[in-house]
């Protein structure tokens, strides 16, 4: 489900266990117009006013929090569940805590390491992988997307650069933009394996100005996945696993459909465990995994995802300079390079940033709080206000 971060997580989901759904931004369907290309300033890295504070995350404690803190955090999670299934992880200077509440699949209780779809949080690892390729000299932020895509791909990239795709400022229209059509496609045939041609054929010909106002459009990240594969000559899952997902601590942070979920797993909306096989062996289904790919198909447990965001915010996944570029919200307000400015939700003094996700049966959030030196992840197998849960947990850990 594609959601604007400023609209919160008051989402409308279909309560159907035989399939899955996404809610995209609604696209225009007017008559085709000529692409509009704007002249914008180069995207070569410049010195920002403030470098990203990686030191706040460098010394976070991998050991457990105290018994008292663990009990308090579990109490907050339980009180926030409202009957839904939730897992959460906090990594703090005092220690690491993971908890669970509610049900994962049928009457099986949720456990802290239940794997779930993380939906659009996928965009942050994909953006980080692009930045690794920039660091290696295989890409540049100013490269035209058309020059880095397969040459036989007949698709109008609107004169957009790599940086425009990363920051959702390409002016390219959304794929599967008709919400009803998308919902119908995914719910009626959860076993359909979507092809790239099928998806790109749904992109409307209209194009907006490049490099100006950002608009949450998943097509940008579909194209970035293709660019990663074309530049490296390898499947994106393989590139990620040897790149930004390299490390034993990230084994359960997986890229579907190339990598498969493993037990324990939470089913969408707490459905029975049989739903997994009925929907093709992916979370929430093979149709959704092949539809979303590099813009929203990853799955994880909360601890693995929190460890990854800790590594990212500590400057260990990409260089400190790349991380500063990704989070330069002065240059790119609201949406940086695969990272959302979340200070509006948690208070300007929190400095919080990260990403949210929502897909049929799952809502997710992963955040770094530089001022507190805390990483928090909340995953729900329900339509749930995970932002509020994350805020309550951070507040409890900070007092």
Q: pLDDT tens digits, residue range 88-99?
A: 999 999 999 999
**How many angstroms separate the CA atoms of 311 and 54, rounded?**
9
Give the residue from 4, 13, 6 showing the smallest Cα distance to 381. 13
Domain membership of residue 335 (yes or no) is yes
Report whether 342 contacts 351 (CB < 8 A): no
State the pLDDT at residue 318: 98
Number of domains, the chain? 1
Domain membership of residue 229 (yes or no) is yes
Domain membership of residue 131 (yes or no) is yes
**Which is more confident, 133 or 26?**
133
Per-residue pLDDT band for 345 (boundaries 50, 70, 90) equals: confident
Average pLDDT of the chain to the nearest whole number: 88
pLDDT at 169 exceeding the cut of 60: yes
CA 287 from chain centre, in angstroms, equals 18
**How many angstroms separate the CA atoms of 182 and 189, rounded?**
11
By three-state DSSP, how is residue 350 classified? helix
Give the residue from 270, 225, 23, 26 showing the smallest Cα distance to 122. 225
The pLDDT > 90 percentage for the chain reads 80
**How many angstroms separate the CA atoms of 287 and 27, rounded?**
21
State the pLDDT at residue 12: 31
Q: Which phi and psi angles does 129 have, rounded to 5°?
A: -65, -40
pLDDT at 70 exceeding the cut of 80: yes
pLDDT at 43 exceeding the cut of 90: no
Q: In what order do the strands lie in the sheet with 254-255?
A: 116-117, 298-300, 254-255
pLDDT at 289 exceeding the cut of 70: yes
pLDDT at 4 exceeding the cut of 70: no
State the pLDDT at residue 23: 34
Question: Which residue range forms the structural domain that includes residue 238?
Answer: 114-363
Domain membership of residue 147 (yes or no) is yes
Domain membership of residue 226 (yes or no) is yes
- The CB density around residue 278, as the number of other CB atoms within 10 Å, is 16
State the pLDDT at residue 348: 61
Domain membership of residue 118 (yes or no) is yes
In order of 145, 181, 182, 347, the CA distances from 178 in angstroms are: 25, 5, 6, 34
Domain membership of residue 382 (yes or no) is no
Query: Range with the lowest mean pLDDT among 18-27, 219-228, 327-336, 349-358?
Result: 18-27
Domain membership of residue 397 (yes or no) is no
In order of 55, 124, 325, 342, 368, the CA distances from 315 in angstroms are: 9, 14, 12, 19, 12
**How many angstroms separate the CA atoms of 342 and 51, rounded?**
17
- Residue 176 gets the label, from left (phi > 0), alpha (psi -120 to 50) or beta, of left
**How many angstroms separate the CA atoms of 139 and 170, rounded?**
17
Report whether 361 contacts 266 (CB < 8 A): no
- The CB density around residue 162, as the number of other CB atoms within 10 Å, is 26
Q: Which phi and psi angles does 300 have, rounded to 5°?
A: -165, 165
CA 280 from chain centre, in angstroms, equals 22
**How many angstroms separate the CA atoms of 62 and 290, rounded?**
35
Token pair in block for residue 62: 């991998």
**Residue 152 maps to which CATH number?**
3.40.710.10
pLDDT at 47 exceeding the cut of 50: no
pTM value surpassing 0.85: yes
**How many angstroms separate the CA atoms of 44 and 36, rounded?**
22
């Amino acid at each position: 489900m594609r959601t604007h971060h400023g609209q919160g997580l008051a989402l409308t989901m279909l309560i159907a266990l035989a399939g899955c759904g996404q809610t995209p931004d609604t696209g225009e369907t007017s008559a085709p117009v000529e692409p509009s290309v704007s002249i914008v300033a180069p995207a070569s890295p410049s010195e920002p006013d403030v470098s990203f504070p990686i030191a706040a995350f460098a010394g976070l404690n991998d050991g457990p929090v105290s018994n008292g803190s663990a009990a308090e955090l579990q109490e907050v999670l339980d009180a926030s569940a409202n009957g839904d299934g939730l897992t959460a992880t906090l990594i703090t200077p005092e220690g690491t805590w993971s908890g669970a509440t509610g049900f994962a699949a049928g009457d099986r209780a949720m456990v802290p390491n239940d794997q779930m779809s993380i939906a659009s949080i996928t965009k942050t690892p994909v953006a980080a992988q692009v930045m690794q390729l920039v660091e290696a000299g295989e890409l540049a932020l100013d490269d035209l997307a058309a020059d880095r895509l397969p040459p036989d791909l007949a698709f109008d990239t609107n004169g957009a650069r790599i940086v425009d795709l990363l920051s959702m400022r390409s002016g390219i229209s959304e794929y599967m933009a008709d919400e009803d059509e998308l919902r119908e496609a995914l719910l009626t045939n959860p076993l359909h394996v979507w092809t790239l041609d099928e998806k790109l054929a749904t992109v409307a010909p209209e194009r907006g100005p490049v490099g100006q106002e950002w608009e949450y459009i998943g097509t940008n990240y579909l194209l970035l996945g293709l660019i990663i594969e074309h530049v490296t000559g390898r499947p994106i899952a393989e590139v990620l696993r040897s790149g930004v997902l390299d490390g034993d601590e990230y084994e359960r942070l997986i890229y579907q459909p190339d990598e498969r979920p493993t037990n324990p797993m939470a089913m969408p909306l707490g459905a029975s465990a049989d739903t997994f096989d009925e929907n093709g062996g992916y979370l929430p289904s093979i149709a959704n995994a092949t539809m979303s790919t590099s813009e929203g198909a990853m799955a994880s447990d909360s601890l693995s995802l929190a460890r990854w965001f800790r590594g990212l915010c500590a400057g260990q996944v990409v260089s400190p300079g790349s991380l500063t570029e990704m989070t330069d919200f002065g240059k790119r307000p609201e949406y940086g390079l695969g990272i959302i400015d979340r200070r509006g939700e948690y208070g300007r003094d929190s400095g919080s940033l990260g990403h949210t996700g929502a897909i049929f049966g799952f809502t997710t959030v992963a955040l770094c709080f530089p001022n507190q030196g805390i990483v928090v992840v909340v995953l729900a197998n329900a339509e749930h206000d995970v932002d509020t849960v994350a805020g309550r947990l951070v507040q409890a850990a900070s007092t």
